[in-house]
Amino acid sequence: MNLIGYSAEAVNLSLSSATFHDGTTEYTWAQALANNKQQAYLAYYDSNSQANLSKYKYLSTLSGFDDTAFRNNKGYWIYSNVSGNLTLPSVGGSLNDETYLWNKLRFGNGSEEKGVADAVDDNWLEKKFKYTTGGTAVTFIDICGSTSFPDSCDKTNLSSWEGIFVKSNVDNLTLIRQN
C-alpha cells in the first residue's frame, strides 16, 4: 500500500491518464488492470464538513465507484500487486537524489505553526516515525531537528522515494515544507 499526494495544474486529472511501469514494460492504466499489476481503485478520505458524512471514498475507472479523476490537494492510497512506478502526466515529482532536512519541516493546525522539534516537544507528534525505503520492512526512526532531541538520532534528512509515516497526537495537522 502506498500513499501518494496529488497537486498539479490539471485540477482534475483522469485516472485513465495514468501509466504504470513495472521495471520492464510500461502499461496504460487499463493494461495495468488487465495484467493484474494494479488494484482497480485508489482510496481517499473525504473530509466533509459534516463529521457524520466524512468517510473513505474510491477513485477508479470502473463504474460504481465514487470518482474517476484525481482531485487537487488530496492524498490517495494505492495498492500495487507488483513494484513499479505510477506516472501521472503533467504532475511534478521528486528526483532520486533529493534530500530535505527534518528541521525545515513545519506543522500547522490552522491557527499555529511549529517546527518539527517543537511539534514533538509540545506533543503534537510522536518522536518515533515509521520509515521504509525501496520496499524494505518498516522500521522506527528517531528524528533530529534541534537540541531538544538529546537521545539517539537515526536520520537527519528526508530523501526522495522514502516513506515516512508521522503519528499525530492532535487532529487537523498539515505538514508544510519550508524551502
pLDDT digits (tens, 9 = 90+) for 50-109: 666 668 889 999 888 888 888 877 888 888 898 888 888 877 655 556 777 776 778 888
pLDDT of residue 9: 66
Query: What are the DSSP calls for 35-103, one per residue?
Result: TTSEEEEEEEEE--SSGGG-EEEEEESSTTSSBSEEETTEEEEEEESS--EEE-TT-----TT-EEEGG
Which neighbouring-strand residues pair with 42?
A: 59, 78
pLDDT (mean) for 102-121: 82
pTM (two decimals): 0.59
Query: What are the DSSP calls for 101-125, one per residue?
Result: EGGGEEEE-SS-EEEHHHHHHTTSB
The set of cell numbers assigned to 147 is: 537540541
Measured CA to CA, the distance from residue 103 to residue 100 in angstroms comes to 9
Measured CA to CA, the distance from residue 108 to residue 113 in angstroms comes to 4
pLDDT of residue 146: 43
Chain centre to alpha carbon of residue 65: 22
Query: What are the DSSP calls for 55-69, one per residue?
Result: EEEEEESSTTSSBSE
3-state secondary structure of 160: coil
Q: β-strand 99-101 against 157-159: which pairing, if any?
A: antiparallel
CA 116 → CA 150, 153, 156, distances in Å?
Answer: 15, 14, 12
Most confident of 1-15, 28-42, 50-64: 28-42
pLDDT above 80: residue 139? no
pLDDT above 50: residue 15? yes
